[in-house]
């Protein structure tokens, strides 16, 4: 008996005992079962390596061609038109442009074709218990995963697969996003972000709505920056100034927009300092999905291309 206990303890991950105690206290789950679940997860060096080379570290000139390909645009148009009734219905329910939901699915997983091959439990254990730079965030996600009820997941926790960061399903939801924004749109009693298109689409739309998407409002507009434009301290994509104020500081939109609207100035990595955009609330909302402005711009441009492609087909004889 002592040997079995010693063997079990030897398989524990650093911090596992404290995590199990927290989850058991908060949910009443059996600590033995939780320990078995976590002890079955493996630290993956490939996950730690992947964290060191994110795509968002690329300049925009290299990042854009990854996601704005003719094939991704074509498949987005096909997906949008094939599921238009469902997309438009859920878009109206949540007040979100459905093309942006499709674009997020396109950027994240190529419309469900590549949802990730890592075990979600391995990913979150690796990053939450072995990756100090962001351990607090990923440990919290691991704790949430262990606390989610069975009906909130497409499969048991030890069978889920996803990205190297532990995101799962077509929309690559982290556990906290599943808990807050996951939707059982098909009414089968389960939130299945891997196999149910109604659940997948509704959950992404609910996420955008929950973060403040503004229906019918712009996302981002090109701007002209004057040579003497005021330098701005910009930490994120949150809109902080009125368009009127930004224009007075030397950043003028190239299209008509309400001068009272709140915006920020967006520079993309690797682009000339004179090549700038004004980002609005909806741009910021996309960055809550992935905080990189490159990601938000890729989603925006893919959504625009999907709209344009679909409209062109509507006009064709």
Q: Is 108 a catalytic residue?
A: yes
Residue 169: pLDDT over 80: yes
Choosing from 12, 108, 147, 271, the catalytic residue is: 108
Cβ-count burial of 154 within 10 angstroms (0-12 exposed, 13-18 middle, 19+ buried)? buried
Nearest partner of 250 among 270, 276, 268, 269, judged by Cα: 276
Q: What is the pLDDT of residues 57-111, one digit of tens each?
A: 788 888 999 999 999 999 999 999 999 999 999 999 999 999 999 999 999 999 9
Query: What average pLDDT is seen over the chain?
Result: 93
The pLDDT tens digits of the residues spanning 182-196 come to: 999 999 999 999 999
Residue 55: predicted pLDDT: 74
The answer on pLDDT for 206 being more than 60 is yes
Q: Are the C-beta atoms of 265 and 251 separated by less than 8 Å?
A: yes
List, for residues 220-261, the tens digit of each pLDDT value. Answer: 999 999 989 999 989 899 999 999 999 999 999 999 999 999
Strand partners, 263: 241
Domain residue limits, the chain: 220-279
Query: How confident is the model over 117-125, as a mean pLDDT?
Result: 98
């Amino acid at each position: 008996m002592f040997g079995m206990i010693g063997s079990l303890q030897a398989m524990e991950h650093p911090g596992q005992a404290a995590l199990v105690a927290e989850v058991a206290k908060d949910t009443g789950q059996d600590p033995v079962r939780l320990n078995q679940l976590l002890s079955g997860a493996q630290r993956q060096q490939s996950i730690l390596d992947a964290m060191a080379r994110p795509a968002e570290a690329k300049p925009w000139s290299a990042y854009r061609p990854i996601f704005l390909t003719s094939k991704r645009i074509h498949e987005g148009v096909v997906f949008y038109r094939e599921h238009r009734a469902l997309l438009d219905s859920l878009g109206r329910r949540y007040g979100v442009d459905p093309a942006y939901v499709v674009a997020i699915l396109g950027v994240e997983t190529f419309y469900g074709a590549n949802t990730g091959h890592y075990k979600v439990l391995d990913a979150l254990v690796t990053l939450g218990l072995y990756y100090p730079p962001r351990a607090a965030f990923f440990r919290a996600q691991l704790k949430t995963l262990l606390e989610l009820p069975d009906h909130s997941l497409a499969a048991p926790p030890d069978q889920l697969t996803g990205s190297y960061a532990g995101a799962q399903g077509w929309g690559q939801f982290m556990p906290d996003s599943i808990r807050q924004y996951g939707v059982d749109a098909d009414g089968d009693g389960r939130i299945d972000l891997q196999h149910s298109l109604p659940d997948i689409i509704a959950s992404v739309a609910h996420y955008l709505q929950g973060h403040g998407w503004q229906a019918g409002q712009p996302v981002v507009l090109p701007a002209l920056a004057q040579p003497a434009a005021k330098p701005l301290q910009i930490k994120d994509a949150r809109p902080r100034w009125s368009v009127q104020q930004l224009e007075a500081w030397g950043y003028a939109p190239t299209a008509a927009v309400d001068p009272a609207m709140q915006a920020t100035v967006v520079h993309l990595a690797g682009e000339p300092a004179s090549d700038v955009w004004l980002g609005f609330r909806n741009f910021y909302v996309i960055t809550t999905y992935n905080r990189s402005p490159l990601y938000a711009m890729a989603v925006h441009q893919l959504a625009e291309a999907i709209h344009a492609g679909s409209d062109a087909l509507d006009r064709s004889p």
